[in-house]
A = this chain, B = another copy of it.
Amino acid sequence: MRRLRMGMVGGGPGAFIGPIHRIAAELDREIELVAGAFGSTLERSRAAGDAYRIDPSRAYGNLAELLAAEATRDDPIDFITIASPNHHHLPAARAALAAGIPVLSDKPATATLAEAHALAGLVADAGLPYGLTYTYSGYPLVREARARIAAGLVGTVRKVVVEYPQGWLAGEGAGKQAEWRLDPARAGEGGAIADIGVHAFHLAEFVTGLRVTRLLADLAAVVPGRRLDDDCQVLLRFDNGARGVLLASQIMLGERNGLRLRVYGDRGALDWRQESPNVLTLHHADGRTELVQAGDAGLGDAARAASRTPGGHPEGYLEAFANLYRDFARQLRGEPGSLVPGIDEGLRGMAFIHLAVTASRADAGWVDFEV
């Protein structure tokens, strides 16, 4: 069984996320990075290609060239991965789908909700695989949490608290990574809500199996001069009546990447933290608290399949990311079991961003969440 060939859009010199996509894609040897339109010029793209150690002739000046050239090869790419700022997501996906190439895209799906609807149409028309790298859904214990809730082990979910504190934008300047995220022309409608809030939103829905039906958003640009939100407080209602709160902020100084999900049911509860991803705390109705760890004998199939090392050998962000790539590879091969979010989750994420931004701006109170 040959490795799938991946092309990359974005991930050029200085990009943090490109090499991470590359490592994640290749970790299980099911995928190989072979081509890319990495940078905004051929020169920059080639420099990145050299850093990735790919064939120099397959570092292209832009995606159109890549698609055209690859189509003529005996060993063309099997899919592209989009690792560029949000405003590139739609055009890149559109071009790839038009060329018959499946797409795996960084989140959020697009820069605006309108774009997301357009993309959903394109994906439906193309009939090609489309996936979104909501990385945190790749962690073994996130999948364990999801499986346990689906099996009824917390009973009826009553309350969800999901928070995503970061502090790296607490100051005025924060380098290249910050630059495009703070620019509406490139980031789109949302700031922190689109950069990290949507991760929290997806995680909550992914793990609980519930869907948000109403929300009340309180977003702000705290650091003077910002045009996009950098601090978000959102109250939630889910389709089973459960209550929730979502916090996402990039001005919580000192916080690194503190995504945390707590789910409380009438028969149990669970608590997971991204910065200690190999532990899942369970609260049982009889008062016992249990620490479930990656590699434990009692884990379910999804968590086992998502681990590569024995218990006590920490796996982290890259391995979680690799689980999404492995899932997507299987999807491309027509195998079952992929948990990679698709365009439906993409649309929901964009609707969440849009609704949070607009409802907050309008001080609209509780609003219905519909896609």
Contacts and interface: CB of A to CB of B under 8 A. Distances in A.
Given A291-B290, A298-B287, A315 B313 contact: no
Contacts of A310: 16, 168, 177, 256-257
Contacts of A295: 256
Contacts of A317: 309, 313-315
B314 A222 contact: no
A339 interface: no
A209 interface: no
B268 A254 contact: yes
Interface string A253-281: 11111100010111111000011111000
A283 interface: yes
A125 interface: no
Contacts of A222: 158-159, 243
Interface string A306-320: 001111111111110
Interface in A167-194: 167-168, 170-171, 177
Contacts of A126: none
Contact of A316 (B161, B168, B282, B313): B313
Quick one: which of A252, A253, A310, A365 has the most chain B CB within 10 A? A253
Interface of A: 1-3, 16, 19-20, 22-23, 26-30, 50, 52-53, 158-159, 161, 163, 166-168, 170-171, 177, 216, 218, 220, 222, 231, 233, 235, 243, 245, 247, 249, 251-258, 262, 264-269, 274-278, 282-293, 295-298, 308-319, 363, 365-366
A274 to B, nearest CB: 8
A252 B218 CA distance: 23
A51 to B, nearest CB: 9
A286 B298 contact: yes
Contact of A253 (B1, B231, B255, B265): B265
Contacts of A312: 166, 255-258, 274-275
Quick one: which of A1, A295, A318, A366 has the most chain B CB within 10 A? A318
Given A276-B276, A283-B253, A308 B19 contact: yes
Contact of A254 (B16, B170, B258, B284): B284
A28 B27 CA distance: 10
A149 to B, nearest CB: 13
